[in-house]
Amino acid sequence: MKSATLAACVAVIGIACGGAAVAFDDLAAVAPSLRSGRPDLDLRLRYENVNQANLDDAARAFTLRTRLGYTTGKWNALDAQVQLENVTAIGADHFNSTDNGRSRYPVVADPDGSGVSQAWIRYSGLPMTAIKFGRQRLVYDNARFVGDVGWRQHLQTYDGVTLTGTWLPKLTFNYAYLYNVNSFRSNLINGINTRNIGLKASQLFNLNYAPAAALSITAYAYLLDFKNDAPLPPAAGAAPNNPRRDTATYGARAGGTVPLGGFKLGYAAEYAYQQGYRDAASAPIHAGYYLAELGAARGPLNARLGYEVLQGDGHYGFQTPLATLHSFQGWADQFLTTPAAGIRDLYFGAGGTVEKAAIGAVWHDFESDDPSAAHYGSELDAQITRPLGKGFAVGTKYARYYPDHYPAASGKTYGTAKYWLWLEFRL
């Protein structure tokens, strides 16, 4: 699959270039483009503490993430990027990194390791079109369905071919053909290895039209075919044993901001439908997604109220396996896999800026979508971040999940509290 995709991409670029020979051996011609590029450096030193009531020991993770890359200048409408990444634990591993075997501790999914986070070549010689091949970062819309998991120390990136077209004013079309997801994590979700998630002929379509600040409309189709797919659990009501189930998701989103009486009002509405795809086309996968959100801002203050529903029938819950999951349904990460009974999340958030410090808090109330199941619980999240100048920033945040009937271990529900403190530098 990889060699076939590479051959196809090379053919596309060759045709786009009009068949012209690319003289890579002529270093004198290429050298100015290499010198005119830009480096990037991203360092993040972070402490994470997790107290999980079903485990006796708290997790204490002190890690350093280093990301170093270089993007070339343009040469014959071609440019490229290579980015390397390393995560190193400082001190003792008093946490379950997902691959260090420390199961007595709660999970902090930042394992030690080095790798290539991005390595791509891009051709932009066609009018209002860019074609990119290789390992690359993808974030569509608000990352609810396709994201880079930027909160974790390792970046989630994708291997494949992408196309971006801006052929009409205010319109952007994104397409991706993917054959692998690089998450650099192991055994994180239901015992399934997620370090490299192989895909078969998976395609992403995303079309956005934004004529004004008051209106942005997106339509999308995400067709996911995983190499390793498992059958649904035999009994209704059991937890799904594979959150990466083959699915086709079709949806639309609208949002925008409107000034009114000294306020800036914002809104978002979204609907999606998910069904079985390829290997799972005949499986009983039928679930919907709904979102409604209203917000208001005035000066340095803001507030928002939202309601998000991932439907579930007690047998299958709506899944978003490529999402930046930490950004949704609470920072305590209790719902990385949607329960079989689905989930309804009613949330309220407020924040502001004081002396360059951004302060915010969110309250969540969780319940199942399937009426036969009980109320899950609630969560309080809070965060403070502040830039320090010249690329530096500092931040801290806290998440506390209060259980009612979910999750449970050995027949008992348990709560979770997490705390973070970090310092980062970006060049």
Of the pLDDT bands very low, low, confident and very high (cuts 50, 70, 90), residue 101 is confident
Tracing tokens 């050298």 back to the chain, one arrives at 31
Look up tokens 């991932």; give the residue: 310
pLDDT at 188 over 70: no
Q: What pLDDT digit, counting tens, does each position of 268-277 carry?
A: 999 999 999 9
Residue 186 has pLDDT above 60, yes or no: no
d(CA 369, CA 339): 9
Is pLDDT at 19 greater than 70 in this prediction? no
CA 32 – CA 54 distance, rounded (Å): 59
pLDDT at 360 over 80: yes
Q: Is 8 helix (H, G, I), strand (E, B) or coil?
A: helix
For the chain, give the percent of residues with pLDDT over 90.
73
Identify the weakest region by mean pLDDT among 5-14, 58-67, 72-81, 368-377: 5-14
pLDDT band at 189 (very low <50, low <70, confident <90, very high): very low
Average pLDDT, stretch 215-219? 98
- What does the DSSP assignment read for 288-331? EEEEEEEEEEETTEEEEEEEEEEEB-SS-B---TTS-GGGSS-T
CATH code of the domain in which 221 resides: 2.40.160.10
In 155-191, which positions are buried (b, 16+ CB within 10 angstroms) versus exposed (e)? bbbbbbbbebbeeeeeebbbebbbbbbbbbbbbbbee
Residue 192 has pLDDT above 70, yes or no: no
Spatial CB neighbours of 224, under 8 Å, sequence gap ≥ 6: 199, 202, 244, 246, 247, 248, 249, 277, 321, 322
85-120 burial: b if 16+ Cβ within 10 Å, else e: bbbebeeebbbbbbbeebeebbbbbbbebebebbbb
Q: How confident is the model at residue 185 (pLDDT cuts 50, 70, 90)?
A: low
CA distance 157 to 81: 13
Residues written for the chain: 427
Token digits of residue 3: 């060699």
Spatial CA neighbour of 145 closest among 314, 279, 366, 327: 327
Structural domain harbouring 44: 2-426
How would you class 126 by CB atoms within 10 Å of its CB: exposed for 0-12, middle for 13-18, buried for 19 or more? middle
Q: Give the three-class secondary structure for 9.
A: helix
Residue 229, token pair as written in the block: 């797919």
The mean pLDDT value of the chain amounts to 88
Task: List the helix and strand counts (H, then E) for the chain.
Answer: 2, 20
Strand partners, 71: 38, 81
- Local structure of 16: helix, strand or coil: helix
pLDDT for 164 beyond 60: yes
pLDDT at 241: 44
pLDDT band for position 204 (cuts 50, 70, 90): very high
Nearest to 131 by CA among 171, 173, 161, 172: 161
Q: How sure is the predictor about 9, in pLDDT bands with cuts at 50, 70 and 90? A: very low
Work out the pLDDT band at 195, boundaries 50, 70, 90. low
Residue 156: pLDDT band (50, 70, 90) is: very high
Give CA–CA dist 33/72, Å, rounded: 6
Write out pLDDT tens, residues 249-261. 999 999 999 999 9
Angle at alpha carbon of residue 135, lines to 129 and 138, rounded to 5°: 60
Q: Please return the burial class of 316, using the count of CB atoms within 10 Å of its CB with bins 0-12, 13-18 and 19+.
A: buried
pLDDT for the residue 99:
85
Confidence of residue 361 (pLDDT cuts 50, 70, 90): very high
pLDDT reported for residue 183: 80
* Res 264 pLDDT > 60: yes
Q: Which of 13-17, 27-31, 166-170 has the lowest mean pLDDT?
A: 13-17
Say how many domains are in the chain. 1
pLDDT (tens digit, 9 = 90+) per residue, 371-392?
777 899 999 999 999 999 889 9
What pLDDT score was predicted for residue 16?
Answer: 38
On the CB side of 383, CA atoms within 13 Å amount to 19
- Asked if 272 and 286 count as a contact pair (C-beta separation under 8 A), the reply is no
- The whole-number pLDDT of residue 284 equals 83
pLDDT value at position 15?
Answer: 38
Q: How far apart are CA 147 and CA 336, in angstroms?
A: 14
Whole-prediction pTM? 0.88
Q: For 120-129, 188-197, 308-317, 376-385, which range has the lowest pLDDT when averaged over its residues?
A: 188-197
Q: Which of 26-30, 77-81, 83-87, 369-373 comes out lowest in average pLDDT?
A: 26-30
Quick one: pLDDT at residue 2?
Answer: 46
